[in-house]
């Protein structure tokens, strides 16, 4: 059975005075009421950053870990409730050389050991998503320690996606829904088929059930996805959760990304009109009144079509 705990408490702080002068200048142009609830970042370009400097890829990752700290700190100062960073994908785990994977695991551990105090200073809570149980046991232990050491914090929740793939997350969700149903049928002493017939399958499986079975069940969907290094793809990241997210792509490589760039992305986001499949706020009732009735428009279109165009094919 999945443990159902509630969404973590978020208590806003007043630490805006800790922003740098440049950050504060951008923050002043933001609408504090429209700070996103959740920003998710695809951190990309560590290798290219190193390559441009004729350095080994490892050094790009090391510098990328520094960016994680800066971005986390700015996020907490502006009262961003949730930030999720794509740190290590399932595909990275399977397709990168063992030496690079081992280095990333070591870097993760040393990042956690070296940053838990800073997270506590910033009131940041540390969590993870992904197939964590497949990571080396000593890495899992350090991760667990970092989570426990920051669990009482009430500010930003920093989630690292590790050994994460969105498709495998959906597979894991489907499996857990199915195993819960089988367990319930067993408990009631009936077949799965009988159980599904009691309330109907629609009552047992809808979008809410899937959302509740994902690793992210305690986190709102991202409002904004940022990808660094200019690549225009999602790379199997939070596919279900980003259905209506705004996407911001910057050419900046992750090791060069700082809090100020997070603020710039949020500024860009605040100029977007989110529609969630509707018509948006700029579409007024007057616009609606001015629309010709659909039946009249359809009739007009039909009368303009030639008999050949109307003939079945
Ligand atoms: C993409 O760069 C980045 C990764 C595969 C790993 C992300 C890791 C970090 C930012 C550092 C470690 C993070 C923590 C939390 C300690 P890439 O190697 O794909 O770059 P490239 O596309 O330029 O080769």
Q: What is the pLDDT of residues 52-92, one digit of tens each?
A: 999 999 999 999 999 999 999 999 999 999 999 999 999 99
CA distance 105 to 137: 11
Non-local CB neighbours of 182 within 8 Å, separated by 6+ positions: 192
pLDDT at 158 over 50: yes
pLDDT at 195 over 80: yes
Contact 10, 154 (CB under 8 A): yes
Ligand 1 site, residue 255, Cβ cutoff 6 A: no
Stretch 234-255: mean pLDDT:
98
Contact 147, 117 (CB under 8 A): no
Contact 169, 86 (CB under 8 A): no
Ligand 1 site, residue 87, Cβ cutoff 6 A: yes
Contact 242, 166 (CB under 8 A): no
CA distance 127 to 148: 9
Topology adopted by domain 16-166+219-305: Undecaprenyl pyrophosphate synthetase (3.40.1180)
Catalytic residue IDs: 44, 92
Lookup: tokens for 89: 């994908």
Q: What pTM value is reported for the model?
A: 0.90
- How crowded is the C-beta side of 301, counted as CA atoms within 13 Å? 8
Distances in Å between the alpha carbon of 120 and those of 15, 108, 125, 262? 14, 17, 8, 21
pLDDT at 1 over 60: no
Closest-CA residue to 257 (of 9, 93, 85): 85
Lookup: tokens for 282: 């700029």
CA distance 11 to 27: 19
Bridge partner residues of 114 (DSSP): none
Q: Which of 251, 254, 255 to mutate to test ligand 1, by most ligand atoms within 8 A of the CB atom?
A: 254
Express as a percent the part of the chain with pLDDT over 90.
Answer: 81
pLDDT at 103 over 80: yes
Stretch 31-57: mean pLDDT:
97
What ligand 1 atom has the least distance to the C-alpha of 61? 11
pLDDT of residue 278: 77
Lowest-confidence segment of 45-54, 199-208, 226-235, 295-304 by average pLDDT: 295-304
| 124 or 294, greater pLDDT | 124
Report how far ligand 1's centroid is from the alpha carbon of 195 (Å).
46
């Amino acid at each position: 059975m999945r443990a159902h705990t509630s969404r973590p408490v978020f208590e806003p702080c007043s630490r805006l005075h800790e922003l740098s002068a440049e950050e504060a200048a951008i923050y002043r142009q933001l609408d504090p009421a429209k700070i996103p609830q959740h920003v998710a970042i695809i951190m990309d370009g560590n290798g290219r950053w190193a390559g441009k400097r004729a350095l080994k890829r490892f050094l790009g990752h090391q510098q990328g870990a520094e960016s994680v700290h800066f971005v986390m700190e700015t996020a907490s100062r502006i009262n961003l409730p949730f930030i999720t960073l794509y740190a290590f994908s399932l595909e990275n785990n399977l397709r990168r050389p063992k030496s690079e994977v081992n280095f990333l695991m070591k870097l993760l551990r040393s990042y956690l050991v070296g940053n838990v105090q800073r997270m506590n200073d910033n009131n940041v809570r540390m969590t993870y998503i992904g197939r964590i149980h497949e990571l080396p046991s000593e890495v899992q232990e350090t991760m667990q320690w970092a989570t426990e050491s920051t669990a009482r914090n009430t500010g930003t929740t920093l989630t690292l996606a590790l050994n994460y793939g969105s498709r495998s997350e959906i597979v894991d969700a489907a499996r857990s829904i199915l195993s819960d149903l089988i367990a319930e049928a067993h408990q009631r002493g009936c077949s799965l088929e009988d159980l599904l017939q009691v309330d109907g399958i629609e009552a047992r499986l809808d979008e809410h059930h899937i959302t509740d079975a994902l690793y992210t069940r305690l986190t709102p969907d991202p409002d904004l996805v940022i990808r660094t290094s200019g690549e225009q793809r999602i790379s199997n990241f939070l596919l279900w959760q980003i259905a209506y997210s705004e996407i911001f792509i910057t050419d900046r490589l992750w090791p060069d990304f700082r809090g100020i760039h997070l603020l710039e992305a949020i500024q860009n986001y605040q100029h977007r009109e989110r529609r969630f499949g509707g018509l948006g706020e700029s579409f007024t009732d007057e616009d609606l009144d001015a629309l010709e009735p659909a039946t009249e428009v359809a009739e007009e279109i039909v009368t303009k079509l030639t008999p050949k165009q109307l003939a079945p094919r």
